[in-house]
Amino acid sequence: MSRPLREVVFVDGVRTPFGKAGPTGIYAETRADDLVVRCIRELLRRNPSLPPDRVDEVAIAATTQIGDQGLTLGRTAALLAGLPRSVPGFAIDRMCAGAMTAVTTTASGIAFGAYDVAIAGGVEHMGHHPMGEGVDPNPRFVSEKIVGSSALVMGSTAENLHDRFPHLTKDRADAFAVASQQKYAAAVAGGHIGPELVPVATRSAEAGWGLATVDEPPRPGTTREALATLRTPFRPHGHVTAGNAAGLNDGATGCLLAAEEVAEELGLSVGMRLVGFGFAGVEPEVMGVGPIPSTEKALARTGLSIADIGLFELNEAFAVQVLAFLDHFGIADDDERVNPWGGAIAVGHPLASSGVRLMTQLSRQFAQRPDVRYGLTAMCIGIGMGGTVIWENPNWDGELA
């Protein structure tokens, strides 16, 4: 029996303000699952024409699935958010690309006809659960030399990338990091970043109640001179610093996906249309190159070329991995199509949540750029992977070829 695939659309995306991980961060005494609940509730509030019982699935990602990030997070967060008990949910883990995979997985179900509407997102509370907490890597990885010892330390893999591509210098990485901070600050000042943020009530035993309304990590006054003085914690006289890499952060994201005809039926907006996606594996020791083969795979499967992409949202886990991607595809470090509102070096990278942040920003940029037809979200993934999702702008005002 032939089953034609349905078009899948990104309806809306939201996120909490991102915080700094640790005892002084804004979410130090806030539960991770409550951050997710806040995103789900906000998606329903912003889309009142969607009956809650029309949500067919809730997929929420977390890298460290223990404590307040455990217990089948998609299902428990759905219940806590007040969705009907008939709405199922599940948790997902692909390290940094958790939320991205939550989107591609549920979108595939929508395309196939298993779902009409889904909520996908992710959370990481790195203050409560540092990366790798409770993990027991199989000793065979090192004893049988399946991977090098550096493969399990993300900062070390970034240093390896500098070794492999020596023209990607520390100074060049620092310059990219400064630009990220500057673009983010300009985007906030211009009102581009802010409307997608969900205010979160926070609690501190010492300071009492508060309200998180803005991102905590950005350092708008960053200079190359200041970055040049930072220590390199992953290697003496290395290249990777706290200034040219994303920090340790807390935060959650969520988005609403639907079949295009269902979105029309329910009166939901269409922020962008899914074109295709690709995931690829690479050497774990240089996981930062992952977005290169995943992008090549996604482009090949959709019949597009890199020249067709008018906007890039690339996760800035480390400046060097973005630079490797740009060099491979012949894109300048300061190309205006790349992360026009800054990236994770400025705003933060709460691991499994970040994929939907990229998508939400791209969707909002599409609304302002009817001259752009296609955009791309991509990220490197721990243990040697990359993920890429290609989107089409429904506001494109060009002519079909």
349 classed as catalytic: yes
Say what the pTM is.
0.97
Give the Å distances, CA to CA, from 291 to 61, 125, 381, 382, 387: 20, 24, 8, 12, 6
For the chain, how far is it from start to end, CA to CA, in angstroms? 33
Q: Which among 96, 128, 129, 192 is annotated as catalytic?
A: 96
CB 350 within 8 A of CB 32: no
Look up 96 and say whether it is catalytic: yes
Neighbouring C-beta atoms of residue 109, cutoff 10 Å: 18
Residue with tokens 């939201």: 14
Q: Is the pLDDT of residue 338 over 90?
A: yes
Residue 238 scores a pLDDT above 80: yes
pLDDT at 399 over 70: no
Instruction: Tell me the fold of 8-128+246-392.
Output: Peroxisomal Thiolase; Chain A, domain 1 (3.40.47)
**Torsion, CA 278, CA 257, CA 107, CA 2, rounded to 10:** -130
pLDDT at 207: 84
Catalytic residue among 129, 162, 192, 349: 349
Residues 275-290 have pLDDT tens digits of 999 999 999 999 999 9
126-171: per-residue pLDDT in tens? 999 999 899 998 999 889 999 998 998 999 999 999 999 999 999 9
pLDDT by residue (tens digit) across 73-125?
999 999 999 999 999 999 999 999 999 999 999 999 999 999 999 999 999 99
Q: Let me know if 125 is a catalytic residue.
A: no
